[in-house]
Every structure is written in structure tokens, then in C-alpha cells.
Amino acid sequence: MENFKSYGRRKVTLHLTKGLTVVSGPNGCGKSNISDAIQFVLGQLSSKSIRTEQLSGVIFAGTKEGQQRASYAKVTLVLDNSSEPKELPIATNEVQIGRRVHLDGRSEYYLNGSRITRGEIIDTLGICGISIDGYNVIRQGEIAKFSNMSSLELRELFEEIAGIAAYDEKKEKAQSNLDKARNKLQIATVRVEESIKKLHRLEREKQDALRYQDLKARIKSTEAKLLHARIRQLKGEISATKQQLEVLRSQQQDAERTISDFLAEISRYDAKIDEAKARVKDASGDSLNSLNVAIEALAKKQSEALGLLKQRDSQLEELGSKRQHLEQVLSETLEQNQGLKQRHSLLEENVDGTDDTLKKIQQELKYQRKRLESSRSTEKLDRLEAIRSKISGINKDLSELDSQITILTNDLRINQTRIADKEQRVVKVAGILAQFLSRKANYVNEISDFDEEIRALEVRINEQRLELQTVEEELTDNEERLRQTAITIKRIQTELATTQKVMEQIAQRNRGIRLILQARDAGSIPGIHGTIGELCKTHPEYSVALTVTAGKRTDFVVVENDDVAAQCIMLIKAEKAGRVTFLPLNKLRPRVIHPEITDAGFIGRAIDLVKFKEDFRKAIQYVFGQTVIVEDLAAARRIGFQFRAVSLDGDVVNPSGTITGGFYSGSTDHKISLIVEDKDKLPQLEVRLQELRDERDRLLEYRKMIDEELNDQLLPKLNNLKRTRDLTSRDLKATKEEIDLRSEENLTIQNDFEDLTRQHEELKKEIASLKKRREHHESSLQELRDQELALKAEIDSSGVQELLEDIEQKETEQEEISGILNDLRMQQYKASSNLEDNLKRIEEIKQELAELSTREPEMVEAVAQARQTSESLTQELEGKKRQREELMETFRQNQLKVEQLESEQKTLRADLEQAREEQNQRIIIIERLINERNNARQQIQELEQMATERDLPYIFAEDEEINIEVLKEVLHGLKEELDALPEINMKAISQYEEELELNQQLVEKQKFVEKDFDAINQAIKDIETEKREKFMAVFNGISKDFNKIFGILSPDGRAKLELEDPDDPFNAGIRIMANPGGKKITSMLSLSGGEKSLTALAMIFAIQRYKPAPFYIFDEIDAFLDINNVHKVATLVREMSKDTQIMIISLRAPMIAAAEKIFGVTAGEDRISQIVTVSLDEIMKIVEKTDFGAEAELYDY
């Protein structure tokens, strides 16, 4: 081995001897790589079998310690070929088999140093029983695979051992020969049957020959009479046609005059219609437009007047409501003011009485104090008086402060009331302003909607007016297109009628073409395309020129190939239907010119002026490829001596110098075999004509609908919208004025509210300051009262106590009355303030009422004036509308007049169309009669020529009465009788004798083929018998050895092989039955894992014993066996190795102990595998150690 897997970049040699060799070593050291190397060199292609992902995986991959990857791997196997006779057909005593693989996966095989193929290696090794797929090499895990093999797979293995494939190959070859013999027998039988049928047919043909000759003679005589009778009949028809033509031409002249009268009358109606349309246009033009403009202007003014009237009414109503409100407020204020006056007088009386009482108490207090002063003798009394004086002063200050606080509080309340009133007024004005703003927004939206709708209506009206104008133009255009389409249809119908008639006559004239076309239509002869005339189309402008160009070639028949042409010719011959020229597309080699002509009279190549399918180009080129079409003879002369030139009139100039021309009457046989181009347009034109008529009716209806919509719907709706919009605009203007007034009022109220709020805050600050001073005075007063009480306690014993108490009582009364007086003065002040406010409010209300009294008469006058203006505009608007209705009525009357004139003109046009149709019919009839006359003359010429060519003499007198129909019936009967006969073969007798002799030869050959068929059939049966015998011999031999070997491995057990179908072994599989350890015999698939492995090994050893090989390689076949079974297998293998060479890779002690030679495999620190030879004594020491305890002490697998 070189560079192979784990054995590194060096050459490793393993010397094997006869007997049993064991390779052992730790797991992962590379033991199984030796088995992989042997499989590799024997030609193994499966990378999975040698445990790699790809074949190049066997190349040493290098190590982490620095060894580089190898570029190839090579294994060489040396075989001993020294025995005589030699097992391998090679002269050398040693045979070296080698294989090298490269990194790219390429493999090279060598035999004794010479490079050979893998197949040669396989064949060479197969001679001595060595096979890569055989059971001489057992890989890891293959025992388990074998133990799970199905019965059918096992039967296929036995077939391979027995060489059944060779028998199958023989049988397949014999079966092929049998099929060939059967085919020959069938052919021979068919040929005999066909020969018998042919003999019967030839016998019938012989009987028909004489009858055929008799009928042919009678048909010829009848055809001669019928032909000359037809000539006489055609001459009579020509005379009658001449008379009919004279009558029709006279009628044609009269019809031309009638058509001219119709055209003149239609022209007069055109003038009348134009005049009526002009009046309609005038009625619907400037006058109507000016009226519409005036009505729109008046409607706008009326809308403005109504808006103004509505505004004035609203303003007058608002003034009345405001006046009533002010009067009510004035009445309430006057009544309230009267109450305030009475209260003020009452308060004034109370103040005066209270003031007198206070003065009286003050005098008494003054008197008491004088008494006290006269009785005072101590300093304490002075101090008490001083304190009381201070208390009195403070009480006075407190009284003044309370009075000021009360006044300011009242002012604050009044101010608060005014603020609340302003707030309510602000809210009210804001609500009114919001209503007006909402109304303004609604008016703006409505006006915007009106504007949008008015614009849409104006666009729609303009569109309808333009549409009406377009419809009028389309009606005029429709009438013209309708007339042109009708003329075109009549022209095409005339051309088609004439074409159809002549085509029918041509088909009747040339029976051969008719037969061919019938065969094409019936599909009896595939590949017939049609005549040149059928396959191409041209415009009528070029019809004459192309008809002359084609000539008789118009009737040439285009076919796919010459085989089809031959079939057609045979058909014509069989029917004796004349002669026809065929153009097979596969044989035509047409010549086509490519002229470079600049002459003004040059129109183009003839082939460019016809239309055809590209499939037929060769045939069309054959007919038209060498001719050019020019305008006239002069152009043909200028060009034609270079190329064949044909003018539009039918004149011909040839390169040879000849010129053919004159008047072209169209009497040639092939005049209109070319189909006019317009034929395909006729259905579309007829549909187009109906479409134009429908379009005319639709346009008339559409014009009426537009007119009604414009004048009855759109214009009135537009006027109403504009009027409503103007009214809304007036309302919007009034609303804007109200918004301005309310906004100004709101601004004034806001300013007043801000002033009142500022005053309110100042009052609150001033009241707070007074209250703070009052609190300070109260604090001082309390201190003085405390001092007073202390002094009073000191002077209680002085005797002036009663006087002091009296003074104190008076002072108390003085304080109470002062408080009452202050309260009364405060109420008097409030009453005075309210009375003053009411008086100011009364003056304001009176002033507003005076202003309202002045504005109301003016507003009443404005309302009356607005109403008068509105009524005046309404009357004027109604008058304009009546004028417009009168103008519209005039428009409708003129429109009805136009429609009436158009209806009458339509009737005239219908009469004109009918006259033209009758005229066209006469033209068709005249052309048909001319064609019939020309065709009759041509038929007479052809019939006379046919009589000469076919030798049909004139066999009756001129005055002899001939009944053509009777002759036709007689001829028809004879032909039917002749047609009823099969094809006549005048050589039927000689052909019958030849066919009889051939029939006898075929019968003899049939007997010989039957004998050969029976012999081959018997050979197949013999092969099947031999195949079964060979298979059963293998089966019985292996079964016998299997039972013996199994008995060795399992002394208490037995095993056998069973055929699932003993009657037909190849129809089913083979079952392995065993009972290891004396158990119940059962299928191997039902055994345990170890029992399966033991049974599988017994089966493999039995196969190897039946079909021995030079050497065996077993890779860990004892892996799944227990220690006892390993001993048994080792003993058996040791016994087998006496007759062959066996190498086992194993870790099991019994197997190692049974070896005659042992190789140990280890892996160094660099993970490179190494092989060493170990003696039996050394290995036995290892075995002794391993036998202690369970086998789990061995190396892990």
C-alpha cells in the first residue's frame, strides 16, 4: 500500500501466508483499512463500501504534525499462480494486480506492470473465482445485512451462484429466434392467403374482359350521336341569346334615363333640405342665443331684486322686533325707577330721624362727660377718659371704614352685575354672530355648488351643441358612405355572379379537373391543393393582365408532390376524362426575374400583384415569375423586349420580338379563372352596409334626443340655477353686512367688558386695603378696651362708677345708632346709584326708539320699491320666455320640415337604389348571356375538336330529330354498366397461371417454416428444464453444507433451506429456517441478533464451501457473537483455513488465539497506522489477560 488512508506517505507491505491470519489492534488504529485496500485493488467503485465519501478519499490526507497530503494512492495485490495447470491464464508464477487513484478521482489499473482496464481486471479475477461482489470478502456490518436479507434476495443470490443468467440469456436468444420464426410463419401464411385471393380475382377479371369490349363500342357510338346533337343545340341557343341581348340593351338605355331623373330629383331635394336646415340654423342661432342671453340677464336681475326684497323684509322685521323689545325694556325700567324714587324718599326720612336721635344721644353723652369731668379727682380718671377718647376715635374711624367698605362693596356688586350683563350680551352677540357666520358658510357652499353645477351644465350644453353639429356632419358623411358601399356591393355581386357562372362552365367543360377537385374535396387523394386560379387572388384592376399572363396555365393543378400527380393521372385515365397538367411542388424549379425598371409605365412584377399562400410560392412563380405588368402598349414596348410585358388591356410584348394585342373580348377559356380580390370583402361590405343604415337611424334618433335634452332640460335648468344662485348671493351679501355690524358691536362690548373688569379689580384691591386697615383698628381697639377694663377695675371704689356706666351705655347707644345711620345712608346711596343708572338707560332707550322711528318709514319705502322692481322684472322675463317659446316652435316646425324632406328624399334614394339594382341585374344578365354565348361558341369548337380527336363521325341527317335526354340516359346507363365493372385486365389468363405456380411454392415454404418453429419451441423447453436442474443442484448442495456447518456452530440445533414455491422455485423466494440451541425451528428473521449472526455465518460458510475462492477476507464477523459462539466460529475458521487462505480482522480473544499468524496494527503519536508481526506466544499472553472477566474488557469496537 502506498499513501493509502491512515498508513501515511510510505509503502507498507503485508506478507500473507496460507492458513488463518488475524489482524488486530485498538479501535481507530486502521485495521479495517487493510480490508478496504483489498476491496479497492479488486475494482470496488462504491466509495461507501470502502468507507469514504468519494474514491479520492482513500488518499492519505496529511496530519496536524506536518505531514503533507499525498497526490495519489496505490495498492498492489500479488497472487500465487505457481500451481499447474495455472489457475490464471498468465505465464508468470506471480500475478500482480495494481490500482492507482488520483485526487481528481481518476483510477488506473495494472496487470504485471501493464496498464489495463477495470473490465479486464474483473474478467481475469473471475476466472479463479475472485469477485468484488462475491462472498470471499465480508465487510463490516455485512453479516447483519445478510441476516436481514429477504427471501427473494436470497433466491437471486442462489441464481447468481448457479449461473442462471447464462440460461436466461440462452432462453432470451431462443425466444428471439422463436419470435422471428413465428413472424416468418405468419408472413408465409398471409402470402398464401393473398395468393389464393389473387387467383380468385384474376378468374373474375378474365370473365369481365369480353363484356368490357362490347360496352366500349356501344358507348362510343352513343357519344358520337350525343356530341353532334349537342353542337346543333348550342347553335340554336346562340341565336336565342342574340335576341335576348337586343331586348336587354334597350331596357338598359331606358333604365339609365330613369336613374338620371332620380338623381336630378334627389339633387333638388338636397337644395330644399339645405334651405330648411339654414332656417333651422337661423332659428337656433343668433336669435335664440340673444334671447337666451337676455333671459339669463333678466333672470339674474330678478334674482338680485328678489334677494334685495328678501333682505329689506328681513331688516324691516328686525327693526319692528327691536322696537318692541326696547319699548318693553323702557316700560320695565320706568316702573322700576318709580319704585326706586319711593324707596329713596323713605330712606331719606329714616336718615333724618336717625340723625336727630344720634345728635340727642351725643348731647346727653356730652353732658355726662362734663359731669364726670367735674367729679374727677385722680389721674386714673384722666387716663380712662383718654383711653375712652381713643376708643371713640377708633370707633369713629371704624364706622367710616365700614361705610367706605359698604359703599365700595355696593359699587363692586353693581360692577359685577354690569360685567354679568356684558358677558350675557357678549354670549348673545357671539351666538348671533355664529349663526350669521354659519349662514354665510352655508351660502358660500351653496354658491360654490351652484357655480360648479352651472359650469358643468354650461360645459354639457356646449358639448351637446358641438355634438349636435358633429351629428349633422356624421349624417352627411353617413349618407355618402352608404351610397358608395351599396354601389361597391352591387359591383362585386355582379363580378362574382359572372365569375361563378363561367367557373361552373369551365368545370363542366373539363371533366378531368372536376374529377381531381372532387377527389380533393372527398379526401380520397391527399395532397391536391387546387388550380392556379383558385389559389391566387388579384384586384379587378389587374384581372385582364394577369389572365392573359397565365393563359391556359390558370387551369394547371397544384399538388404536393409527383406521387400525388401520378395518382391523379391514374384516376383521369381510369375515367377517360381528358388531360390535365399538374404542378408538383417538390419538383418545380421556377425561374423568377428581378428587373430594375424605372420606367413610369412600369407597375410591377406579375407575381407581386397576386396574393397567395406561401406554401404555393413555387407554383405561382412558375406561372407569373417571368412577366412584368405595365400600364399600356407603349410602356410594354419600352420594357417588354427585355422581359415579357403585359399591359392592363391585355397586350403582350415578348423578349423574342413578337407582339400580341388588339381588342380583348374576354372570350378566352381562362378569362376569370383568377378570383377577384374583392370577393372576400363582400360579407364585410354587406355587414358594413347594414351597419351604416343602423348608424343613420341611430344618428337621427340621437339628433332628436340631443335637441330635446338641450332645449327642454339643460337650458331651463341652467336659467333656474343662475336665478337661485343670484338670490343666494344677495342673501350672502346681507349676511356679510350683518356680520360686520355684529362684529363691531361685539368689539365695543368687549372693550366695555375689559374696562369693567379692570374697575372691578381696582375695587377689590381698595376694599381689601380698607379691610386691612379695619383689622388694624380693631386690634388697637381691643388693646384700648383691655386698658379701659383694667382702669375701671381700679376706679370701681371711687364712687363715679354709675356715672361711668351711664356714659358707657350712652356710648353704646351712640355706636348702635351710628351703625344704623351708616346702613341707611348706604341703602340711600345704592338707591341713588340705581336711580341714576336707570335714568341713563331710559335716555339711551328713548334715543334708540327715536332712531328706529326714523329708519322704519325709510325701510318700508325700500321694501315697496324692491317689490315693485321685482314684479317689473318678472313681467319682462315672462315676455322674453314667451318670445323664446315662439322661436323654439318655429325651430321645431322647420326641423319637422327638414325631417319630412329627408324622409321623402330617403324614399327617392330607395327608388334610385332599386332602379340601380334592377340595372345591375340587367348588366349581370347581359354579361351572363355574353359569357353563355361565348362559352357556347367555345363548347362548339371543343366538341368539334373532340369529335375529330376521338373519331366520332356525324352519323345522322341534319333534319333528323334527336332526343338528347334519351341519348344521355342511354349513355348514362352504358357508362354505369361499364363503371360497375371492375378494372379490366386483358392479361388475366397468363397472370392467373403464373399466380397458380407461385401459390404452390408458397405452400411448400409455409410447411418448412412451421417445422423450424416447432424445433425452436422445443429448445426453449429444454433450456428451462436444464435451468431448473442447475438451480436445484446449487440449492440442495448449499442446503446440505448449511445444515452441517450450522450443526458445528450450534451442536444442539439444526437448520435448513426451504423453497417458498417448490413447484416453481423462480416464482418465489428461499427461506432460512433454524433452531439454535435446540429451540423451536423458525425463520432466521425471527431470531435474536446473535442467533441471526451465527446463522448468517453458517450460510456464508456453506456458500463459500459450495463455491470456494482462493482467499477470504472477514472484517469483524465475530462482533455480535458471545464468547462461546466466538470459540465455535474460530474453531470452524481454523479448520477451513487448512484448504484455503483466510484473513480475519478481529478484536476477540478466541479468534486471535486460533490464528496461525497475527498482525498487530497500532497508531503512533502522529496518528499514522503501523503494522507489526506478533508471535503466537505473545498473543496468548494477551488472550489470557482478556479471558478474565467479561469481554467488555477488550478494546471497544
pLDDT in tens, 990-1031: 777 777 788 888 888 878 878 888 888 888 888 888 878 888
Q: What is the C-alpha to C-alpha distance for residues 723 and 75, in angstroms, rounded to an integer?
A: 115
Cβ neighbourhood burial of 23 (10 Å; 0-12, 13-18, 19+)? buried
> pLDDT tens for residues 205-264?
777 776 777 777 777 777 777 777 777 777 777 888 888 888 877 877 787 778 777 778
Q: What is the C-alpha to C-alpha distance for residues 676 and 667, in angstroms, rounded to an integer?
A: 18
Q: What is the C-alpha to C-alpha distance for residues 829 and 840, in angstroms, rounded to an integer?
A: 17
What confidence score (pLDDT) does residue 75 get? Answer: 94
Beta-bridge mates of residue 75: 99
Q: What is the C-alpha to C-alpha distance for residues 524 and 413, in angstroms, rounded to an integer?
A: 127
Task: Please give the average per-residue pLDDT across 264-280, as a whole number.
Answer: 73
Name the residue with cell 447468481.
160
Query: Could you give the percent of the chain with pLDDT greater than 90?
Result: 6
Q: Which has the minimum average pLDDT: 207-216, 829-838, 956-965, 1001-1010?
A: 956-965
pLDDT band at 616 (very low <50, low <70, confident <90, very high): very high
Q: Is the pLDDT of residue 86 over 90?
A: no
| Strand duo 19-24 + 1141-1145: pairing | parallel
CA-atom Rg of the chain in angstroms: 71
> pLDDT tens for residues 733-742?
888 887 888 7
Q: Is the pLDDT of residue 518 over 50?
A: yes
Count of helices and strands (H, E) across the chain: 22, 23
Q: Which residue has the higher pLDDT, 30 or 989?
A: 30
What confidence score (pLDDT) does residue 787 get? Answer: 75
What confidence score (pLDDT) does residue 377 get? Answer: 46
> What sign for the dihedral angle of Cα 1063, 1066, 1068, 1069?
positive
User: pTM for the full model?
Assistant: 0.37
User: What's the Cα-to-Cα distance from 589 to each of 536, 566, 567, 618, rounded to whole Å?
Assistant: 19, 19, 22, 7
Task: Please give the average per-residue pLDDT across 688-706, as a whole number.
Answer: 82
Which triple of cell numbers denotes residue 382? 384722666
Q: Is the pLDDT of residue 894 over 90?
A: no
What confidence score (pLDDT) does residue 526 get? Answer: 92
**CATH code 1.20.1420.20 for 481-685:** no
Which range of 78-87, 948-957, 1001-1010 scores highest in mean pLDDT? It is 78-87
Extents of the domains making up the chain: 1-136, 481-685
What confidence score (pLDDT) does residue 528 get? Answer: 93
Count of other CB atoms within 10 angstroms of residue 1088: 10
Burial 803-830 (b: 16+ CB within 10 A, else e): ebeebeebbebbbebbeebbbbbbbbbb
Beta carbons of 1169 and 1161 less than 8 angstroms apart: yes
Which among 51, 155, 62, 133 is positioned nearest to 103, based on CA atoms? 62
> pLDDT tens for residues 470-504?
887 888 888 788 877 877 777 677 666 655 655 55
Q: What is the C-alpha to C-alpha distance for residues 526 and 520, in angstroms, rounded to an integer?
A: 7
What confidence score (pLDDT) does residue 101 get? Answer: 93
> pLDDT tens for residues 1136-1186?
888 888 899 988 888 888 888 888 888 877 788 888 877 666 655 655 654
Q: Is the pLDDT of residue 183 over 80?
A: yes
Q: Is the pLDDT of residue 1094 over 50?
A: yes
Q: How many CA atoms lie within 13 A of 21 on its CB side?
A: 20
What confidence score (pLDDT) does residue 617 get? Answer: 92
Q: Tell me the residue type at 495.
A: E
| Strand duo 1157-1163 + 19-24: pairing | parallel
Beta carbons of 168 and 1118 less than 8 angstroms apart: no
Which among 867, 1062, 997 is positioned nearest to 306, based on CA atoms? 867
Q: Is the pLDDT of residue 91 over 70?
A: yes
Q: What is the C-alpha to C-alpha distance for residues 296 and 177, in angstroms, rounded to an integer?
A: 112
DSSP string covering 264-325: HHHHHHHHHHHHHHHHHHHHTTHHHHHHHHHHHHHHHHHHHHHHHHHHHHHHHHHHHHHHHH
What confidence score (pLDDT) does residue 505 get? Answer: 53
Query: Could you give the percent of the chain with pLDDT greater than 70?
Result: 84
| Strand duo 137-138 + 114-116: pairing | unpaired
Torsion of CA 871, 872, 873, 874, to 10 degrees: 50
Q: Is the pLDDT of residue 1195 over 50?
A: no
User: C-alpha angle 78/84/87, rounded to 5°?
Assistant: 50
DSSP 1191: G
User: What's the Cα-to-Cα distance from 11 to each of 16, 43, 74, 339, 792, rounded to whole Å?
Assistant: 16, 20, 9, 144, 146
Q: What is the C-alpha to C-alpha distance for residues 497 and 491, in angstroms, rounded to an integer?
A: 10
Q: Which residue has the higher pLDDT, 974 or 95?
A: 95
Q: Is the pLDDT of residue 732 over 90?
A: no
What confidence score (pLDDT) does residue 448 get? Answer: 87
What confidence score (pLDDT) does residue 671 get? Answer: 44
Count of other CB atoms within 10 angstroms of residue 974: 19
Task: Please give the average per-residue pLDDT across 646-668, as a whole number.
Answer: 78
Q: Tell me the residue type at 1125.
A: N
- CATH number of the domain at 1-136, please? 3.40.50.300
What confidence score (pLDDT) does residue 2 get? Answer: 92
Beta carbons of 670 and 533 less than 8 angstroms apart: yes
Average pLDDT over the chain reads 78
Q: Tell me the residue type at 1150.
A: P
Beta carbons of 830 and 410 less than 8 angstroms apart: yes
> What sign for the dihedral angle of Cα 488, 492, 494, 495?
positive
Which range of 129-138, 279-288, 787-796 scores highest in mean pLDDT? It is 129-138
Cβ neighbourhood burial of 336 (10 Å; 0-12, 13-18, 19+)? middle
Task: Please give the average per-residue pLDDT across 528-537, as a whole number.
Answer: 86
